[in-house]
Amino acid sequence: MITGKTKTLAVIGNPVAHSLSPVFQNAAIEAAGLDYIYTAFPVADGQLGKAIQGMKAFGICGLNVTIPHKEQVMKHLDHVDKDAEILGAVNTIVNKDGVLTGYNTDVKGFIGGMKQLGYAPKGKHAVLLGAGGAARAVIWGLIQEGVASLTIGVRNVPKVRPLVEYFSKYMEITLLDWQTEDFEMALEKAELLVNATPLGMCPYVEAMPPVNWDRVKPGILVYDIIYTPAETLFLKTAKEHGCKVLNGEAMLVGQGAESLRLWTGIEPDLEIMTKALRRALEERKD
């Protein structure tokens, strides 16, 4: 029951009504018997500073932050943790007695998906397709896990060079046009292949990144961070090629679970969160 003591959590963004976070966060909250609710607040551009002041004024315990506020929100916080600082983006704010700290839980979400499968990226040759916003957490996660090598394949190399230079202080990264022989040679060596492009995401389900599957070793892990559809053409093709596959569902749930852990201290039930997410995605199809 919601009472005057019930604590508030929320996601902010613009737009935010489509967010699935309230669905799986409330499922986890209920399962843990916590006296919290999790809702969504649209925050227009230009209103972010006031919204964060409002967080303090209303005593909102925690926020998730989504597009377009993940970068801009940082300047309104009292502290920012190391992952968020390195990624230049915050997706979680913890309000502790009026002191706001920003975190980025996307890295743990991305890596957690592989760990649930029993797959350890340490010492593996990794190839990443795409280098947009979501790829930053992928790159930082793989660097921290200690991959043996990291190659990024993209359609526009000059655009991505600054990002690669930025992360090169932590690890040597090879950046290649994904239409080249050099990239195909990197594919041959790959033990982990990650798609961080939106190619194949609903409604463009016929699309997929240009991978020459003849050069990919069967048996490697192919990870598509897209979660709608659950099986992209990329993952379907990888499976047919004999690869192990993982979609973006565990990353989405994992980042949310890490946020809930930061706000409440509990270990959220990933299975319950995942079931709630799948149910909501099914209902969305109808």
Q: Which of 7, 56, 70, 275 is catalytic?
A: 70
- Residues in region 131-160 near ligand NAP by CB under 6 A: 131-135, 154-156, 159
70 in catalytic set: yes
Site string for ligand NAP, 206-235 (x = CB under 6 A): -------------------xxx--------
Size of site (CB under 6 A) for ligand NAP: 23
Q: At its nearest, how many Å lie between ligand NAP and the CB of residue 172?
A: 20
Closest distance of CB 150 from ligand NAP, Å? 15
**DSSP element (H, E) containing 25:** helix 21-32
User: What phi-psi label fits residue 111: left (phi over 0), alpha (psi between -120 and 50 degrees) or beta?
Assistant: alpha
Parallel, antiparallel or unpaired: strands 92-96 and 99-103: antiparallel
Among the listed residues 86, 48, 53, 78, the one whose alpha carbon sits nearest the alpha carbon of residue 66: 48
CB of 226 to ligand NAP, least distance (A): 4
**Is beta strand 99-103 parallel, antiparallel or unpaired with respect to 125-129?**
unpaired
User: Do the beta carbons of residue 63 and residue 11 sit within 8 Å?
Assistant: yes
Nearer to ligand NAP, 53 or 179 (CB): 179
Among positions 245-284, residues that touch ligand NAP (CB under 6 A) are 248, 251-252, 255
Residues 43 and 13: beta-carbon distance below 8 Å: yes
The distance from CA 98 to its chain's CA centroid, rounded to whole angstroms, is 27
Active site residues: 70
Residues that bind ligand NAP (CB under 6 A): 109, 130-135, 154-156, 159, 196-199, 201, 225-227, 248, 251-252, 255
